[in-house]
Structure 1
Amino acid sequence: MKSPRTFAHVETWVFDLDNTLYPHHVNLWQQVDARISEFVSAWLKISPEEARIIQKDYYRRYGTTMRGMMTEHGVSADDYLAYVHKIDHAPLEPNPQMGAAIKKLPGRKLILTNGSVDHVDAVLSRLGLGGHFDGIFDIIAADLEPKPSPQTYQKFLALHAVDPTRAAMFEDLARNLVVPHRLGMTTVLVVPDGTKEVVREDWELEGRDAAHVDYVTDDLTGFLQGLRV
């Protein structure tokens, strides 16, 4: 069995946002998920049940429901993002331990998310992590092409001058680590800790044993604190 990649050479640390920088069981994304269902139902003038089926189908096929709605129905990204991210961020609590662990990492720290900058800023503010990142690459920077699209990672790497062979990526969806691993990144899958119920699709929780996943953790703060870098 091949040994996983290490972190000694890493100079750029790349983090997803939702369900990665905060625990899955906060279920903050559940609020966004519900707003997406409402948007799809209203836009297509269909029942909530029908909207839910279409929402999840587009999410799986296009990477985000938004991309599916844009492609199939001509939805405006601005309208969509403004609606679905209008949520209550109060369930998020400050995490100074994670902040300290991220601060100690040598090199740059970047966020690569399928969400919007406004959503990132709101989440980081609640977590107390606002000053710990050197850049944000959101769905707008990606020209509305979400992860796991290969060109999205290439745009990210080019925009921020990242050498993928000297980078690590932290993600909650294993499929979003396929391309980073192929490009040479050390990959870490962040999974639920099992203490509380989480609202996720079965496929979203798959991939722990995949060859493109170097490490798996259910405690990102503890994992970062334990790194020898």
Structure 2
Amino acid sequence: MKTPRGFTRIDTWVFDLDNTLYPHHVNLWQQVDQRIGEFTANFLDVSAEEARRIQKDYYRRYGTTMRGMMTEHGVRADDFLAYVHQIDHSPLQPNPAMGAAIARLPGRKLILTNGSTDHADKVLERLGLAAHFDAVFDIIAAELEPKPAPRTYDKFLRLHGVDPATSAMFEDLARNLVVPHLLGMTTVLVVPDGTREVVREDWELEGHDAAHVDHVTDDLTGFLQRLSARP
């Protein structure tokens, strides 16, 4: 039986963005997902059904559909990102309770996302969390190589001077916690709370019991409140 890593020495708190800092059931990512499908269909001149198949195949194999489209078809990242992030962010509501809990955590708070800084800024602004984060490491900073690629985490750690042994990583995809755990980070998987329908692939919801997942929560705000309330 595994012994999960704790939080007593943590001085750097690393958060994924989409489906992590806001609930899965908001389905904001569903809008991005739809835009990715449209871009794929238009660029490759294929049906919506074929585009969907390609989109999800590349997502699984390359970490993001964009990476697959770049590798297989020479898509320009700027064109892809500009199109797929043209979404309505209004479903996101301010979360002052989460903001207060994050503010009480000791040390730095960073975003590590496969999205763009522009998208991250809009999400954080809608959630009322922008002031609580020191920096955003996005897909451009990663030189277009997405999580879960090991080199992306290495770049992130070097750029921000992060010590994995005193860091915690919060993610909604278990596969994106494999490398952080190997590096020595405390890992937290954020899952749907089960009260509302979510639009996710089956594999995206797997991994709760994986050895590289130290903690699982379906209520990130409550989880952070309990952490920040520790003496």
Fold agreement, TM-score > 0.5: yes
Q: Distance in 1 between matches of 2:207 and 2:214?
A: 11
Question: C-alpha displacement at 1:90, in angstroms?
Answer: 0.4
> The residue matched to 2:10 in structure 1 has which SS?
coil
Q: Distance in 1 between matches of 2:212 and 2:183?
A: 11
Question: C-alpha displacement at 1:142, in angstroms?
Answer: 0.1
Q: Distance in 2 between matches of 1:46 and 1:157?
A: 40
Match of 2:176 in 1: 176
The one-letter code of the counterpart of 2:201 is: E
CA contact (8 A) 2:41 2:47 kept: yes
The number of equivalent residue pairs is: 229
Instruction: String of CA shifts for 1:155-179, please: whole Å, max 9, x gaps.
Output: 0000000000000000000000000
Match of 2:187 in 1: 187
Q: Distance in 1 between matches of 2:191 and 2:210?
A: 14
> The residue matched to 1:131 in structure 2 has which SS?
helix
Question: C-alpha displacement at 1:3, in angstroms?
Answer: 1.6
Is residue 10 of structure 1 aligned with residue 33 of structure 2?
Answer: no
> The residue matched to 1:207 in structure 2 has which SS?
coil
Question: C-alpha displacement at 1:2, in angstroms?
Answer: 2.7
Match of 1:202 in 2: 202
> The residue matched to 2:131 in structure 1 has which SS?
coil
Task: Give the superposed CA RMSD.
Answer: 0.5
Question: C-alpha displacement at 1:199, in angstroms?
Answer: 0.1
Q: Distance in 2 between matches of 1:121 and 1:61?
A: 28
> How do 1:61-140 residues align onto structure 2 when only pairs under 5 Å count?
61-140=61-140
Match of 2:56 in 1: 56
Is residue 150 of structure 1 aligned with residue 158 of structure 2?
Answer: no
Q: Distance in 2 between matches of 1:83 and 1:174?
A: 27
The one-letter code of the counterpart of 1:111 is: I
> The residue matched to 2:132 in structure 1 has which SS?
coil
Q: Distance in 2 between matches of 1:179 and 1:50?
A: 32
> The residue matched to 1:8 in structure 2 has which SS?
coil
The one-letter code of the counterpart of 1:64 is: T
Q: TM-score, normalising length from structure 1? A: 0.99
Q: Distance in 2 between matches of 1:145 and 1:6?
A: 29
Q: Report runs of 4+ in structure 1 exceeding 3 Å deviation.
A: none
Question: C-alpha displacement at 1:95, in angstroms?
Answer: 0.1
For structure 1, list consecutive stretches of 5 or more residues without a partner in the other structure. Answer: none
The one-letter code of the counterpart of 1:138 is: D
> The residue matched to 1:226 in structure 2 has which SS?
helix
Match of 1:39 in 2: 39
Question: C-alpha displacement at 1:91, in angstroms?
Answer: 0.3
For structure 2, list consecutive stretches of 5 or more residues without a partner in the other structure. Answer: none
> The residue matched to 1:188 in structure 2 has which SS?
strand
> The residue matched to 2:144 in structure 1 has which SS?
coil
Match of 2:222 in 1: 222
> The residue matched to 2:199 in structure 1 has which SS?
coil
Q: Distance in 1 between matches of 2:141 and 2:78?
A: 13
The one-letter code of the counterpart of 2:63 is: G
Question: C-alpha displacement at 1:213, in angstroms?
Answer: 0.1
Q: Distance in 2 between matches of 1:210 and 1:176?
A: 12
Q: Distance in 2 between matches of 1:79 and 1:132?
A: 30
> The residue matched to 1:86 in structure 2 has which SS?
coil
